Amino acid sequence: MGRITLDNVTKSFGPVQVIPPLNLTIEDGEFTVFVGPSGCGKSTLLRLIAGLEDVSSGEIRIDRQDATHVPPAKRGLAMVFQSYALYPHMSVRRNIAFPLRMAKMDQAEIDRRVNSAAEVLNLGDYLDRRPGQLSGGQRQRVAIGRAIVREPAAFLFDEPLSNLDAALRVGMRLEISELHERLRTTMIYVTHDQVEAMTMADKIVVLRAGVIEQVGSPLELYRTPRNLFVAGFIGSPRMNLIEGPEAERRGAHTIGIRPEHIEVTEGPGAWSGTVGVAEHLGSDTFFHVHETGLAETITVRAGGEVGFDHGDRIHLTPREDLIHRFGADGLRFE
């Protein structure tokens, strides 16, 4: 159905190569997230798959068929854009029906599909409104509806939640995940937000400067980041990266320890420092610890309510088995 393969794909804008030769396979039914900082080429990659940009060289296969030079509409893919890209002069119903009308489908079938999509997405009451009269979340649903009715081989999402406020974003995240559970269709999702990547993906592709840094399941990336970039990018708060004697003692150039893998005590511990800012969330407590002699700030996460505050002297003990070791080249080694 929706297996997508990129084979030595490159993309250049003029003399600038934004994607060096890249190989990637996305299995049928998989929820794949492209994640990376802005400008890393993740959106360009998505647009290459969509056919909105021509590849400079290489091959794109969809369902084992060469799709490299197939126009976007013929690839059987549907896309949800960051700005939703709804047609402002059409009602919600006509927006959702548009791809079906373009496919010259008969009216009865169009109505059936539009109505069932509207039901799935709770848009029944809004079908005769214009996009301008809808809230951000509703517009997002219309955009998804327009994608669903085509019953595509794969869905492409280009940062679809970045225009929503925080509360709605969490809700829509769940809705998209549920949609994937129900449809079991291949989805490719682009975001710069690693939380979205971690919560939604079957497979995460971490990109930097057009290069794939690592591919894997969320927990693989969390447990065994392949290099310093992935280590720093995946996980929140960020992994603490420490250089110098403590790293050398463990035979590495750099060591990394996640905030949740450090134990905080009043009494003796491996390291010590002074609490700068303490963030008490109730469920967790975050300490930003200074004067440790390790790095400028060490972030520590303690479960539940822990009563240290600004200025307190505390002791830190990392879990030795969860320390990540990196060489001078930035690569992980065991």
Q: Which is nearer to another protein, 131 or 318 (CB)?
A: 131
4 near another protein, judged by CB under 8 A: no
* Residue 83 in contact with another protein, rule: CB under 8 A: yes
Cα–Cα nearest to 101, from 139, 138, 150: 150
Question: For another protein, which residue of 15, 16, 38, 71 counts as binding (CB under 8 A)?
Answer: 71
Q: Which of 77, 201, 234, 316 binds another protein (CB under 8 A)?
A: 77
Least distance from C-beta 149 to another protein, angstroms? 10
CB-nearer residue toward another protein: 64 or 74: 74
Output 94 or 238, the one with its CB closest to another protein: 94
**Which positions from 99 through 128 interact with another protein, judged by CB under 8 A?**
99, 102-103
- Between residue 129 and residue 148, which ones bind another protein under the rule CB under 8 A? 146
The site map against another protein for 27-66 (x = CB under 8 A) is -----------------------x-xxx------------
Cβ at position 194, least distance to another protein in Å = 24
> Contacts with another protein: how many residues (CB under 8 A)?
25
Q: Which of 85, 209, 215, 295 is the binder for another protein (CB under 8 A)?
A: 85
Q: Is 150 in the site for another protein (CB under 8 A)?
A: yes
Residues in the site for another protein, rule: CB under 8 A? 50, 52-54, 71-74, 77-79, 81-83, 85-89, 98-99, 102-103, 146, 150
